[in-house]
């Protein structure tokens, strides 16, 4: 989050906001979290139900957020809410505003979500009502938050793709080591092509995904703002890594199910890049519509 999340501030914040927000983040004095997803809207970001209304020098925020990483430890939150009702805008992407503000647990109810993996990072649901946020904590212009948040989302997809890649390489490395050391029927199991070929195939797919991730990152750094390459990198990285982690368990056989060999943990962790921050099905929808020019399917 602290790597990619404040990109909208970098691109759209005022000089005063950048000094006030980015310097303590970079110095490690403050930590941030990122609030977009809601219980009732999921991936349908344009239908967000959390609201903010102007009240003098403040906005009053009410609503819920879910799957908010690091909220137990964050000092700040970058949060997207609706400032103009959906039925009063000409396009659903309008009417959303972005704030970067203090996350006060005495005002915002923060509840940790028990989950399957990713134990190193807390994940939470947030509930807030009549939360007063200074108007000076708005990023950019009112009702223009959605186009700003996309800058952070593309960076997030590239970062998650790289995370998946690391998991895939770790799994293949452990599987290859085990396959070289484990002897059954008088020979190392890695001598069998049924073991060797799937691992080789996964290494090649991870390398191909790595090139796409580098390509997407280079385009992003050069200012390219469309999402097809960031989404493609996330899709290919997650799929290649998932297959690699699954194969690593199968190479270990029954021992792959044991915590001692770590590969069961890699499989649990690699499910996250397949699901978040956007599902593989929604990525295919995006490519089908935006790249191939096919009719919108959802």
- Same domain? For 136 and 157 the reply is no
Report the C-alpha gap between 158 and 3 in whole angstroms.
11
- Please tell me whether residues 58 and 157 are part of one structural domain: no
Tens-digit pLDDT profile for residues 115-141: 999 899 999 999 999 999 999 999 999
- Burial (CB count within 10 angstroms: exposed 0-12, middle 13-18, buried 19+), residue 38: buried
Instruction: Looking at the structure, tell me whether residues 17 and 125 fall in a common domain.
Output: yes
Residue 1 lies in a domain: no
The answer as to whether 135 is a domain residue is yes
Does 226 map to a domain? yes
pLDDT above 70 for 1: no
- Out of 113, 142, 171, a domain closes at 142
Whether the pLDDT of residue 2 is over 80: the answer is no
* Token pair recorded at residue 228: 């097809």
Q: Is residue 123 a part of any domain in this protein?
A: yes
Residue-range definition of the domain harbouring residue 61: 7-142
- Clarify whether residues 192 and 112 are in a common domain: no
Last residue of a domain, one of 91, 115, 142: 142
| pLDDT at residue 44, as a whole number | 86
Mean pLDDT across 7-25: 94
CATH code where residue 77 lies: 2.40.110.10
Query: Does 191 lie in the same domain as 102?
Result: no
Is residue 228 pLDDT above 90, yes or no? yes
Is the pLDDT at 187 greater than 90? The verdict is yes
pTM: 0.91
In a domain, 2, yes or no: no
297 belongs to a structural domain: no
pLDDT (average), residues 262-276: 96
Q: How far is CA 105 from the centre of its chain?
A: 23
**Burial state string for 186-222 with b = 16 or more CB within 10 A and e = fewer than 16:** eeebbeeeebbebbeebbebbeebbebbeebbebbee
* Whether residue 235 sits in one domain with residue 218: yes
User: Which residues touch 122 (CB under 8 Å, ≥6 apart)?
Assistant: 69, 70, 71, 72, 73, 112
Strands 96-102 and 51-55: unpaired
Residues of the chain with pLDDT > 70, as a percent, come to 99
Average pLDDT over residues 278-284: 95
The answer to whether residue 296 sits within a structural domain is no
The CATH number given to whatever domain includes residue 217 is 1.20.140.10
Of the candidates 142, 157, 176, which is a domain's last residue?
142
Q: How far apart are CA 147 and CA 205, in angstroms?
A: 33
| Same domain flag for 79 and 208 | no
Q: What is the mean pLDDT of the chain?
A: 95
Is 156 in the same domain as 133? no
Find the mean pLDDT for residues 194-218.
98
Pick the residue with more confidence: 44 or 114?
114
pLDDT number for residue 298: 86
Q: What is the pLDDT of residues 153-181, one digit of tens each?
A: 899 999 999 999 999 999 999 999 999 99
For the stretch 198-207, pLDDT in tens is: 999 999 999 9
Rounded average pLDDT over 70-89: 96
84 in helix, strand or coil?
coil
The answer to whether residues 159 and 114 belong to one domain is no
Residue 293 has φ and ψ, to the nearest 5°, of 75, 25
Q: Determine the pLDDT at residue 151.
A: 78
Q: Does residue 176 share a domain with residue 81?
A: no
Kindly tell me if the per-residue pLDDT of 266 is higher than 70.
yes
The number of domains in the chain is 2
pLDDT by residue (tens digit) across 27-39? Answer: 999 999 999 999 9
Strand 123-134 and strand 109-112: the pairing is antiparallel
**Whether residues 278 and 202 fall in one domain:** yes
- Residue 21 within a domain: yes
Query: Has residue 70 got a pLDDT over 80?
Result: yes
Confidence of residue 4 (pLDDT cuts 50, 70, 90): confident
Percent of residues, the chain, with pLDDT higher than 90: 90
Q: Are residues 244 and 154 in the same domain?
A: yes
Copy the structure tokens of residue 223: 């200012």
């Amino acid at each position: 989050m602290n790597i990619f999340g404040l990109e909208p501030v970098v691109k759209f914040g005022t000089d005063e906001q950048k000094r006030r927000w980015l310097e303590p983040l970079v110095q490690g004095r403050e930590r941030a979290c990122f609030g977009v997803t809601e219980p009732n809207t999921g991936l349908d970001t344009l239908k967000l139900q959390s609201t903010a209304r102007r009240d003098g020098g403040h906005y009053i925020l009410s609503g819920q957020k879910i799957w908010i990483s690091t909220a137990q430890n964050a000092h700040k939150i970058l949060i997207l809410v609706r400032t103009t009702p959906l039925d009063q805008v000409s396009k659903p992407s309008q009417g959303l505003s972005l704030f970067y503000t203090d996350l006060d647990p005495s005002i915002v109810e923060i509840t940790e979500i028990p989950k399957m993996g990713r134990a190193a990072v807390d994940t939470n649901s947030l509930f807030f009502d009549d939360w007063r946020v200074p108007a000076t904590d708005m990023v950019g212009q009112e009702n223009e938050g959605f186009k700003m948040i996309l800058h952070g989302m593309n960076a997030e997809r590239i970062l998650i793709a790289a995370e998946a890649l690391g998991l895939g390489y770790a799994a293949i490395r452990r599987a290859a080591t085990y396959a070289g050391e484990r002897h059954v029927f008088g020979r190392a199991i890695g001598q069998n092509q049924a073991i060797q070929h799937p691992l080789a195939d996964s290494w090649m797919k991870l390398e191909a995904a790595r090139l796409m991730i580098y390509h997407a990152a280079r385009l992003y750094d050069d200012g390219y703002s469309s999402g097809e390459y960031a989404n493609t990198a996330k899709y290919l990285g997650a799929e290649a890594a998932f297959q690699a982690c699954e194969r690593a368990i199968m190479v270990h056989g029954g021992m792959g199910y044991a915590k001692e060999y770590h590969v069961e943990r890699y499989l649990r962790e690699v499910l996250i890049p397949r699901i978040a921050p956007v599902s593989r099905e929604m990525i295919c929808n995006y490519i089908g519509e935006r790249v191939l020019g096919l009719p919108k399917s959802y």
